C-alpha cells in the first residue's frame, strides 16, 4: 500500500514565477490538506480539499490555490513567487475531513525561491 | 490563529535516559491532540491521537498523556535509544484544522 506521495522532491524557482506541486493521497483517503513549513516553524495549514472543493483555508493569500482531481490527487499552485515562499510543502491525506483520525503525511517538496 | 507551544525546543540525552516533552494548546475548541515523530528526510509519522481528557496512550517505550482542561499534553520516552532521535511534533485539531507546534528536536547520544 503506497502512502502519500509528493512530487517533485526539490524545486528551485525565481521570484515572480509560478509553481505547481503534486500530491497523491494514501489509498482509501479522499481528503487532502496542504501545509507550509518555513525554516524554524511548525507546519502551517494552507487549505484542505474534499470532493474536489476547497473546504477549509488557512491564513494564506490568494496566490496560493489548489485543485483536487476525481482520483483524489491534488495540486498546490503558487503564483508570483516571493522569496518568503521558500519552504517545505507537506501534503497530508485522511479518510474524511474534520475527523480525529490520523493525517498521513508525504515526505514534502522543498521549494527554494531565488 | 491558535498558539500551540512545545518545550523544550531541543534536547540532548544519553542513551538509556528517560525524557519527556510538553505540548501546550488552547483549552477551548478542542477536538483532538496528535503527536508525530519526524525523522530528517522522511514523512512525519503519527504516534498518537488523543481525544478525551485524561487519555493515556502507549506504544512501546513511548507514552503520552492529555489534559484538555488545562491545555497540555506530555510525551514520555523511557530508556531513550539512538533511533529515537527525531523531531517530535504535536498538533491541535479543532475538527477543521490542525495547528502544529514548532516541535522538540531530540538527539540521543550513544
Query: How large is the average pLDDT for residues B62-76?
Result: 96
Task: Kindly state whether B93 is in contact with chain A, defined as any CB-CB distance less than 8 angstroms.
Answer: yes
Task: Kindly state whether A38 is in contact with chain B, defined as any CB-CB distance less than 8 angstroms.
Answer: no
The pLDDT tens digits of the residues spanning B16-48 come to 999 999 999 998 889 999 999 999 889 999 999
B104: nearest CA in chain A?
A: A42
What's the average pLDDT block by block, 10 residues per block, for chain A (114 residues)?
A: 91 98 94 94 94 93 97 97 97 79 90 98
Task: Kindly state whether A87 is in contact with chain B, defined as any CB-CB distance less than 8 angstroms.
Answer: no
Task: Select the residue of B43, B44, B51 nearest A100 (Cβ to Cβ).
Answer: B51
Please report residues of B whose CB lies closer than 8 A to that of A106: 43
Give me the percent of chain B exceeding a pLDDT of 70. Answer: 99
Block residue for cell numbers 504535536: B90
At B97, the pLDDT band (50, 70, 90 cuts) reads confident
Strand partners, B105: B10, B87
DSSP string, B51-102: -STT-EEEETTEEEEEETTTTEEEEEESS--GGG-EEEEEEEE-SS-EEE--
| Residues near B79 by beta carbon (within 8 Å), at least 6 away in sequence | B16, B17, B18, B61
HSE (side-chain half, CA atoms, 13 Å) at A57: 12
pLDDT (0 to 100) of residue A98: 64
Give me the percent of chain B exceeding a pLDDT of 90. Answer: 85
Amino acid at each position: 500500500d503506497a502512502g502519500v506521495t509528493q512530487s517533485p522532491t526539490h524545486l528551485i524557482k525565481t521570484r515572480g514565477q509560478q509553481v505547481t506541486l503534486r500530491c497523491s493521497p494514501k489509498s482509501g483517503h479522499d481528503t487532502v490538506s496542504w501545509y507550509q513549513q518555513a525554516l524554524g516553524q511548525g507546519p502551517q495549514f494552507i487549505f484542505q480539499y474534499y470532493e474536489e472543493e476547497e473546504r477549509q483555508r488557512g491564513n494564506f493569500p490568494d496566490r496560493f490555490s489548489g485543485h483536487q482531481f476525481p482520483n483524489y490527487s491534488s495540486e498546490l499552485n503558487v503564483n508570483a513567487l516571493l522569496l518568503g515562499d521558500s519552504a517545505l510543502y507537506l501534503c497530508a491525506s485522511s479518510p474524511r475531513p474534520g475527523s480525529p483520525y490520523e493525517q498521513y503525511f508525504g515526505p514534502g517538496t522543498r521549494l527554494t525561491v531565488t | 490563529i491558535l498558539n500551540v507551544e512545545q518545550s523544550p525546543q531541543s534536547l540532548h540525552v544519553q542513551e538509556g535516559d528517560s525524557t519527556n516533552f510538553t505540548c501546550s494548546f488552547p483549552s477551548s475548541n478542542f477536538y483532538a491532540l496528535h503527536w508525530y515523530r519526524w525523522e530528517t528526510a522522511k514523512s512525519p509519522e503519527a504516534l498518537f491521537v488523543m481525544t478525551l481528557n485524561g487519555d493515556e496512550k502507549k506504544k512501546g517505550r513511548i507514552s503520552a498523556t492529555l489534559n484538555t482542561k488545562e491545555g497540555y499534553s506530555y510525551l514520555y520516552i523511557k530508556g531513550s535509544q539512538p533511533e529515537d532521535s527525531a523531531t517530535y511534533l504535536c498538533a491541535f485539531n479543532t475538527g477543521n484544522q490542525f495547528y502544529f507546534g514548532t516541535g522538540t528536536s531530540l538527539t540521543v547520544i550513544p
